[in-house]
Structure 1
Amino acid sequence: MSTMSRTAGSSRDAHAGDRGFAHSGAADSSPADLSDDGGAVFEVPFEAFFGAGDEASSSPPFDSSSQTSLKKRLYAPTAEPDEAAEPQGDRYERSTVTRAARQSAREKSSAARQRPERSLKGRALGYLSRREYSRAELSRKLMPYTEDADGLEVLLDSLEREGWLSDARFAESVVHRRAARVGAGRIVSELKRHAVGETLIEEVSTQLRETELVRARAVWQKKYGQLPETPAERARQARFLAARGFSMSIIGKILKGIEDDWSDN
């Protein structure tokens, strides 16, 4: 019976060796190596679950670092397929193309919203609707928008005939805006700069001279209000009135006899 047990044990050992298992025989094992029913407890390597035969025996022993690496690979978050596969350069190229397309769309939309180009007469009427212009001043404003000088003169003649353009109204508007603050000299200079006719300038100058003293008194009273007491103060007041365009004769009357003139009035 003992011989038969040893033969059966040897047969089981050989069969277990073919399957890659290592064990300790019942004859050589301690009582702790035996199962409850008296059989031998086999110690199965961990690699046996991932390979068989020679392939399993040739694998390196599994350690804790390998287990940690496996967990990282199994539980690491994965990127979306499109983002993971898209190269950085391609993403930059797409964004550049998108910006260019968006900019082109904005430019086309802006061009579509632009108003049609205004005619030369339309521009002239637009200027005249805001304030009065002299003929020479309006011509300078319109010149950048046309290369036909003769056509521009024809247009100005037409505007004068229709009552849209008038040098007389322009001179009147200048007097209305400036007479309360400056003298006849400044106003006449402005009219000459705008190429208003000499006849019209003479008429305006005569009109202004009639009220020059009254207007100069008002300007002086608002700035100083009392006669100068020293030569320096007199010179300062005289310079102020001269810079405003009043004549020296009017300035002298104001600074010398202003009280007598007022008492007469």
Structure 2
Amino acid sequence: MSDPKFPKMLDYDLLKQELNDSHLESATDSSLNHLAPEALHFEDHPSTKVEGLTGSRLRSYAFAVLTRKEYSKSELVEKLALYAAHRDEVLKLVEELAKENYQSDQRMAETMLSSQKRKGKGPNRIKLALKSKKIDSSLIQEELKETDWNEQAYQLKVKKYGTQVEKEAKLKAKQIRFLMYRGFEMDAIIKAITRKEDDI
């Protein structure tokens, strides 16, 4: 089954002599360990990306991006600007996509709210997450108001520390710090750590 077109193995010594390249000595799989992971993904590598997109090509790329996941308006502008020839065209396109509801900060905000709540995050952490993506938290103001944050904080406290109400100051302070870090307001925190299991 041997084929002269495909040698059985590379002769590195011979290659080194022909190319006079001493670096071939380290051309093994293990030598790739020092490379950054992104260097091995050519589609994302700056040296191989397609630049200067305009018109229908830019629009097609925008649709391809949006089919993979939701983006805030700000994120989408920055993403497309990496590949577009003109930033002004990107701004105009993103506005158009938002009007046609292909891109929606409202939808993005609602998705983030749902995701963050599932992760046990309180309102303050959720607002910070929205701000990091330049999304106005007023878009989900009603949803934030309607959420029972007292219950959310209590369920998280129970999951982490159980139903017992701690009396020792040091342990109470630990629970308070944990819930504060998760983004809950102090009022909800105090109610959560003092709530007894049989309280309604």
TM-score category (smaller protein): 0.5 to 0.7
Superposition deviation, residue 94 in structure 1: 9.5
Match status 1:222 vs 2:162: no
Counterpart of 1:263 in structure 2 is 198
Deviation string, structure 1 residues 105-159 (Cα, Å, up to 9, x no partner): xxxxxxxxx9987732233222211221110111122222224222111110221
Counterpart of 1:190 in structure 2 is 129
Answer whether contact 2:124 2:185 (CA < 8 A) is retained: yes
Take 2:121 and 2:101, find their aligned partners in 1: how far apart are those partners? Answer: 29
Pairwise CA RMSD of aligned residues?
2.8
1:198–1:214 distance in 2 versus 1, CA, 3 Å:
closer
Answer whether contact 2:151 2:192 (CA < 8 A) is retained: no
Take 1:172 and 1:92, find their aligned partners in 2: how far apart are those partners? Answer: 58
Deviation string, structure 1 residues 148-207 (Cα, Å, up to 9, x no partner): 222111110221132210011101110111113100111111112222235315334323
Where in structure 2 are the equivalents of 1:1-265 lying within 5 Å?
Answer: 95-96=18-19, 119-180=57-118, 181-197=120-136, 199-207=138-146, 210-225=147-162, 226-256=164-194, 258-259=195-196, 262-265=197-200
Identity among equivalent pairs (%) = 31
Take 1:134 and 1:165, find their aligned partners in 2: how far apart are those partners? Answer: 7
Letter in 2 for 1:154: K
Match of 1:140, SS state, is helix
Answer whether contact 2:73 2:104 (CA < 8 A) is retained: yes
Take 2:60 and 2:153, find their aligned partners in 1: how far apart are those partners? Answer: 41
Take 2:144 and 2:15, find their aligned partners in 1: how far apart are those partners? Answer: 73
Which structure is higher in RCO with an 8 Å CA cutoff and minimum separation 6?
2
Q: Which structure has greater helix proportion?
A: 1
Counterpart of 1:19 in structure 2 is none
Letter in 1 for 2:139: L
Q: Which protein shows a greater Rg? A: 1
Answer whether contact 2:124 2:183 (CA < 8 A) is retained: yes
TM-score (norm 2): 0.67
Answer whether contact 2:127 2:137 (CA < 8 A) is retained: no
Take 2:50 and 2:131, find their aligned partners in 1: how far apart are those partners? Answer: 37
Match of 1:145, SS state, is coil
* Structure 2 residue runs without a partner (length 5+): 1-13, 21-47
Answer whether contact 2:74 2:134 (CA < 8 A) is retained: yes
Take 1:93 and 1:121, find their aligned partners in 2: how far apart are those partners? Answer: 48
Take 1:242 and 1:93, find their aligned partners in 2: how far apart are those partners? Answer: 61
TM-score (norm 1): 0.52
User: Size of the alignment, in residue pairs?
Assistant: 154
